[in-house]
Amino acid sequence: MEITRAQLTGFRSYEACELTPCEGVNVLLGDNGQGKTNVLEALYVCCTGRSHRTRQDRELIRWGAEFASVRVDAMRRDGSHEVEIVLPALGRRRIKVSGQEIARSGELMGHITGVLFSPEDLRTVKDGPAERRRFVDMALSQIKPAYYYALQRYARALKQRNETLKTIAVQPSYMAMLDSWDEQLSTAGAELMRQRRAYIEKLSRAAAETHRDISDDRERLEIRYLPSVTMGDDAQANMEALFTARETDVRRMTTSVGAHRDDVQILVEGRDVRAFGSQGQQRTAALSMRLSELDVMREQLGEWPMLMLDDVMSELDPGRRRQLVGRLKGIQTFITCTDAEDLAGAGVGRAWRVEGGALKQL
Ligand SMILES: Nc1ncnc2c1ncn2[C@@H]1O[C@H](COP(=O)(O)OP(=O)(O)OP(=O)(O)O)[C@@H](O)[C@H]1O
Ligand SMILES: [Mg+2]
């Protein structure tokens, strides 16, 4: 997949800008705080409907502006795709796919596909399980819109079950209502678990290979799914787990078991990199995971998604940089950097100077 044009209006530091990237390596060059990441963020919003930096749409709207909008045109094997997202300061966001306004947010998924590696990715490795679930959820939602809908169903049922648990504390007769929420939660949860297991198995295989290359054969990376329900990924096992947890859940007024408690373990040389990895090992593990996400997405989608690398080059030693650059062939890539020297050997196709929220093609 290739982005042929991107237009940002009132998005972060941009009043209005347009770029027509090439199919190879595109570079955004500029000093700190000039608006490089903002461009990648806008592209990422068109892939997933969400920013990687904030959940608040308002933060994406240029200060003082009435709305922010991003439009991305892409060429894929099956033809052209366009996504346009308008985020008004007041009111609901509007999304158009190929000119048609969509009714459900899931309809956005899978049109513009991309993988973003950013400094925030270190959190996937270092922070709590929520970050790792998000890593998996965002990739799977782009590959399979059905997964995104299952996530939504799950979140709704979970909210209702938790509310019911709170009601039970004052009205014990509401206990019977748990049955129906348990059932909905189990069906959606089982679907999430099955897809997560299959995805993480593929990811782990790809990541082992990527990591071996990037670390120059020095390190072994393994990614393991740690489901919250250990008896099985089916609805029945989820039902039983919820039933067993009922007493605890009523006491704590929250749901203690299910897909929202899943985790993913990342091991380097057989040890949990979260606890035992050095900063550099954690960074490389995060990079390997993103590059593997790219591989798995290609396998599933039948074509490469685009790749966005934010602030990556300067952090890698020359060997790792070479390995990374070697992988970019045939993949439309967007790279941000402050120093053009860091790009030696990257085969830059098109470059822009980013300054004070304006883009100038070099
Ligand atoms: N809603 C907004 N409206 C206007 N300007 C904004 C908004 N949000 C962020 N900015 C500006 O965008 C700039 C940050 O842009 P960005 O994160 O893209 O920088 P960058 O070029 O990636 O910098 P670095 O090299 O430090 O990562 C900040 O200077 C900030 O003032
Ligand atoms: Mg930045």
* Number of neighbours of residue 66 by Cβ within 10 angstroms: 10
Both structure tokens of 261: 């408690």
CATH code of the domain covering residue 343: 3.40.50.300
Ligand 1 atom 15 nearest Cα: 35
Q: What is the pLDDT along the chain (362 residues), one digit of tens a residue?
A: 999 999 999 999 999 999 999 999 999 999 999 999 999 999 999 999 999 999 999 999 999 999 999 999 999 999 999 999 999 999 999 999 999 999 988 899 989 999 999 988 888 999 999 999 999 999 999 899 899 999 999 999 999 999 999 999 889 888 889 999 999 999 999 999 999 999 999 999 999 999 998 888 888 999 999 999 998 889 999 999 999 999 999 999 999 999 999 999 999 999 999 989 888 889 889 999 999 999 999 998 899 999 999 988 887 888 888 888 888 989 999 999 998 888 877 888 899 999 988 999 99
Number of helices (H), then strands (E), in the chain: 10, 15
Residue 274 lies in a domain: no
Whole-Å CA distances, 8 to 50, 180, 246, 297? 15, 45, 49, 26
3 state DSSP class of 200: helix
Identify which of 8, 11, 12, 339 to mutate to test ligand 1's pocket (most ligand atoms within 8 A of the CB): 12
Residue 359 lies in a domain: yes
Atom of ligand 1 nearest to the CA of 311: 27
Separation of alpha carbons 287 and 309, rounded Å: 10
* Number of neighbours of residue 248 by Cβ within 10 angstroms: 12
Phi and psi at 57, nearest 5°, equal: -55, -35
Task: Identify the domain containing residue 43 by its residue range.
Answer: 1-113+305-362
**32 CB less than 6 Å from ligand 1?**
yes
Residue 120 lies in a domain: no
Quick one: which ligand is closest to 310's CA? 2
Residue 265 lies in a domain: no
pTM of the prediction? 0.91
Both structure tokens of 284: 């490389």
Angle between helices 279-301 and 318-326 (to 10 degrees): 0
Which residue stretches of 255-359 are H helix? 273-276, 279-301, 318-326
Q: What's the pLDDT score for residue 340?
A: 85
Q: What's the pLDDT score for residue 205?
A: 95
**33 CB less than 6 Å from ligand 1?**
yes
Residue 240 lies in a domain: no
Which residue stretches of 49-144 are H helix? 57-60, 122-126, 129-143
**30 CB less than 6 Å from ligand 1?**
yes
Separation of alpha carbons 114 and 90, rounded Å: 29
**13 CB less than 6 Å from ligand 1?**
yes
Residue 309's DSSP bridge partners are 117, 335
Q: What's the pLDDT score for residue 200?
A: 96
Phi and psi at 61, nearest 5°, equal: -85, 130
Q: Domain count of the chain?
A: 1
Whole-Å CA distances, 83 to 40, 61, 138? 15, 18, 18
Residue 7 lies in a domain: yes
Residue 280 lies in a domain: no
Separation of alpha carbons 59 and 54, rounded Å: 7
Both structure tokens of 35: 């608006």
Quick one: which ligand is closest to 41's CA? 1
* Number of neighbours of residue 339 by Cβ within 10 angstroms: 10
Residue 246's DSSP bridge partners are none
Residue 287 lies in a domain: no
Between the two ends of the chain, the Cα-to-Cα distance in Å is 24
- How many residues can be counted in the chain? 362
* Ordered strands of the 333-337 beta sheet: 114-117, 306-310, 333-337, 25-29, 348-355, 358-361
